[in-house]
Amino acid sequence: MYFSLPAEYRQASDDELQQRITAARQKLGKKLCILTHHYQRIAVVAHGDHVGDSYGLSKIAAEQKDVEIIVFCGVHFMAEAADILTDESKNVFLPNPLAGCPMADMAEMADVMEAWKFLKPFGGDKNIMPVSYMNTAAGLKAFTGRHGGLICTSSNAAAAIDYGLSRRDKVFFFPDEHLGCNTGIAYGLKPEEMVLWDFSRENGGLTTEDIDRARIILWKGHCHVHTNFTPEHVREVREQYPGVKVVVHPECPHEVVKLADVAGSTRFIVEFCRDAPSGSTIAIGTEINLINRMAHEYPDKKIIELSGQICPVCANMYRTTLNDLAYTLENYADIKPIKVSEPTRSEALLALEKMLEIH
């Protein structure tokens, strides 16, 4: 997809863009709600009505009553979820249409259908519950809803796994193998009770015995931002900063989570920084824009990026600029909103509502 802003917006200075965004917000008043994900640039977050993680923002979207326009500064699957959770009269806009999520793209409908077909003889709907990470396309959320499953985010993955395993023998978790594995281990499962479905191999690279013994079937997908963190990074930061608290996102590999002081969702990390005593040193394994904003908000604490070497930026979150936001606010009437059509919408809604219920 090719996307380019008109020159007027590409060439405007930051000052001009700030003024135009502020004026457009004033003009639209209560009709407008701007949601900004924690990984957005600080300048974009500054113009949001709300900042949050994917769970918090989808809940806020669902609660909107008088709003007509929701501008979601995040990535595509988040805007889709907001559209599904709001009534038809509301239009959701993604300021940069190229902002996707490579992890979400690792689970394609045809591949998931093939896996589900393979899993059918093991009990299908009766025995296996699909639990889909929020980072999926709407079609897969609909698949999940159709089969009695639910959506989770990193902030409620434990509750979602518990919901699945207390009702059915197995959970089919996609697309993040690391979030699934970390959550399964925290739930008390042994590593051998989790198997990895590799969609590039015949039958996922699994045997009948593998599926028989599995409680969680994990999809072989990952986030390239969080899988950059290594156990070495944790060891090095501890050497360099004695007493440092290491906090990582559960999309990091288990070897990293195991060595960290604590692992938790984006919201957990934000609250951890807020609640840490003044003077503490905190090394964070997650997206750099969130880390920088935490360091900026809490200058009395030393808040650093865990690796000290890589720059863990989510390029897709970073795509959204003040230029995109100004363009969207001034031209929304001519921009195609994100719309999920039926029956995908209703089926995905079942799975999303279950997520909101269990939290």
- Binding of ligand SF4 by 103 (CB under 6 A): yes
Residue 291 interacting with ligand SF4 (CB under 6 A): no
Please identify which residue in 154, 182, 321, 323 interacts with ligand 13P, judged by CB under 6 A: 154
Bridge-partner residues for 218, per DSSP? Answer: 173, 196
Question: What DSSP string runs through 19-65?
Answer: HHHHHHHHHHGGGEEEEEETTS-HHHHTT-SEEE-HHHHHHHHHH-S
53 interface partner picked from ligand 13P, ligand SF4, none, CB below 5 to 8 A per type: ligand 13P
x/- track of binding to ligand 13P for residues 214-233 (CB under 6 A): ---------x----------
- Binding segment for ligand 13P among 7-15, 51-59, 201-209, 325-333 (CB under 6 A)? 51-59
Find the part of the chain contacting ligand SF4 (CB under 6 A) among 101-109, 140-148, 270-278, 345-353: 101-109
Question: What's the rounded Cα separation, in Å, for the pair 98 and 285?
Answer: 25
- How far apart CA 299 and CA 287 sit, in angstroms, is 19
User: Using the rule CB under 6 A, is 92 a contact of ligand SF4?
Assistant: no
CB of 316 to ligand SF4, least distance (A): 5
The answer to whether 152 contacts ligand SF4 (rule: CB under 6 A) is: no
Instruction: Tell me the CA end-to-end span of the chain in Å, nearest whole number.
Output: 36
173, burial (CB in 10 Å: exposed 0-12, middle 13-18, buried 19+): buried
Give the gyration radius of the chain's Cα atoms. 21
Which part of the chain contacts ligand SF4 (CB under 6 A), choosing from 56-64, 194-202, 203-211, 310-318?
A: 310-318
Tokens linked to 320: 């959204």
Q: Among 228, 230, 265, 344, indicate the residue that binds ligand 13P (CB under 6 A).
A: 265
Least distance (Å) between residue 8 CB and ligand 13P: 32
Per CB under 6 A, the list member of 75, 85, 142, 303 interacting with ligand SF4 is: 75
Give me the least distance between CB of 117 and ligand 13P, in Å please.
28
Nearer to ligand 13P, 223 or 348 (CB): 223
Alpha helices, DSSP H only, in 66-222?
76-85, 102-105, 109-119, 124-127, 138-146, 157-167, 177-187, 208-213
